[in-house]
Amino acid sequence: MDLILHLTTYPLLTLKQLLPTSLIILYLLLKLKIKNRKPLPPLTVDIKFLIILSFLNYLPYLISAQAKGRYVLPLFPVLAIIFSYLIYKNKEIVKVLILCISFLIILRFIFGYIGLPLLEKNRGPLKRGAYLINEYIKPNEKVACNCRQDERKAVCLYLNFLRNEVIKSPRLTPRWKYLISCIPIKEQGLEEVLKIHIRKEQYVWLYLRQSQDLQR
Count other C-beta atoms under 10 Å from residue 198's C-beta. 19
Strands 190-199 and 202-209: antiparallel
Contacts of 15 (CB under 8 A, 6+ apart): 22, 23
Concatenated DSSP letters of 32-64:
HHHHH-SPPPPPPHHHHHHHHHHHHHHHHHHS-
Q: Are 177 and 139 in contact (CB under 8 A)?
A: no
- pLDDT value for 36: 59
Higher-scoring residue by pLDDT: 15, 190: 190
**Count of alpha carbons within 13 angstroms of residue 172, beta-carbon side:** 6
Instruction: State yes or no: pLDDT of 180 exceeds 70.
Output: yes
Which DSSP letter does residue 147 get? -
- Which tens digit of pLDDT belongs to each residue from 89-99? 666 667 777 77
Confidence class for position 211, pLDDT limits 50, 70, 90: low
Contacts of 64 (CB under 8 A, 6+ apart): 6
- Which tens digit of pLDDT belongs to each residue from 26-80? 777 676 665 655 555 566 777 778 778 778 878 888 888 777 777 777 777 777 7
- Which tens digit of pLDDT belongs to each residue from 138-177? 888 999 998 877 788 888 888 888 888 888 888 888 889 9
Lowest mean pLDDT among 14-18, 53-57, 104-108, 210-214: 210-214
- Peptide linkage before 20 cis (omega within 30 of 0): yes
Quote the CA–CA distance of 154 and 152 in Å, as a whole number: 5
| pLDDT more than 90, % of the chain | 6
Quote the CA–CA distance of 141 and 132 in Å, as a whole number: 15
* 29, 33, 72, 115, 141 from 138: Cα distances, Å: 58, 64, 39, 36, 5
